[in-house]
Amino acid sequence: MKDEFWEAIITNNASYDDQFLYAVKTTGIFCRPSCKSREPNRQNVRLFRSAEEAIRADYRPCKRCKPAGKRLPNEDWVAQITDYIDLHYHERLSLQLLADLFHGSPYHLHRTFKRITDLTPVEYIQRLRVKKAQEMLDSTDYTVGNIGFMVGIPSSPYFITLFKKITGYTPAEYRQRHNRIDLGGGELDGRISEAADLLDQIHI
């Protein structure tokens, strides 16, 4: 990308709006150069000559600057946000960050997200992180603290409290219950991953 075009993007230069559009790979959104959105990472930017070209490349128009000349439906906008959260749940996320990335106000994002998903953005992130933690408790020997950190919750006490609030169990209780198989009143320790490995060995 030419330095001239990059300068137009970071300075929101409207005189370039009829020359190109730019898309951000990490969000899947394309904008006009004049869009007053969060400054992207230059390495994640692609340029297009038209909205049609950007859409064919699977990018969706910005809700703020409307580069396709029409308003993006709220359902599509929220889908963009959930797709981003699904990929970046382990990173530090906030309502303000999501609003900046997806070119809306925090209030409007919160209200629209809740109306379409029945969850607030924070609730969606929390449930996803707990779901990912459950998967790791089932399939790894990582400590509870390490799993919390890996799903984006570095505070162990908060991770344990949130996990129990959503699942009804602490992470340790969940792991114990899901790693024991009840056979006629007797319990055998058995991890799902170990059972799968054993089956693989039998079929080799």
**Placement of tokens 């300068």 in the chain:** 7
Reported as a single tens digit per residue, the pLDDT across 126-181 is 999 999 999 999 999 999 999 999 999 999 999 999 999 999 999 999 999 887 63
Can you give the pLDDT at residue 71? 66
Question: Mean per-residue pLDDT for 179-203?
Answer: 44
Please answer whether residues 62 and 77 qualify as being in contact, where contact means their C-beta atoms are separated by less than 8 angstroms. no
Can you give the pLDDT at residue 57? 94
Is the model's pLDDT at 53 over the cut of 60? yes
21 phi, psi to nearest 5 deg: -120, 155
d(CA 133, CA 150): 8
Predicted structure pTM score: 0.64
For the chain, report the end-to-end CA distance as a whole number of angstroms.
51
List the domains of the chain with CATH numbers: 3-61 (3.40.10.10)
In this structure, the number of other CB atoms found within 10 A of the CB of residue 154 comes to: 12
**Placement of tokens 């064919």 in the chain:** 56
Catalytic residue, chosen from 31, 35, 62, 65, is 31
Is the model's pLDDT at 200 over the cut of 70? no
Is the model's pLDDT at 26 over the cut of 80? yes
Most confident of 55-59, 103-107, 148-152: 148-152
Our answer to whether residue 31 is catalytic in this structure is: yes
- Mean pLDDT for the chain overall: 85
Looking at per-residue pLDDT, the higher value among 200 and 81 belongs to: 81
Looking at per-residue pLDDT, the higher value among 187 and 5 belongs to: 5
Q: 121-139 vs 156-167: helix axis angle to the nearest 10?
A: 100
Nearest to 89 by CA among 140, 137, 132: 132
d(CA 144, CA 193): 18
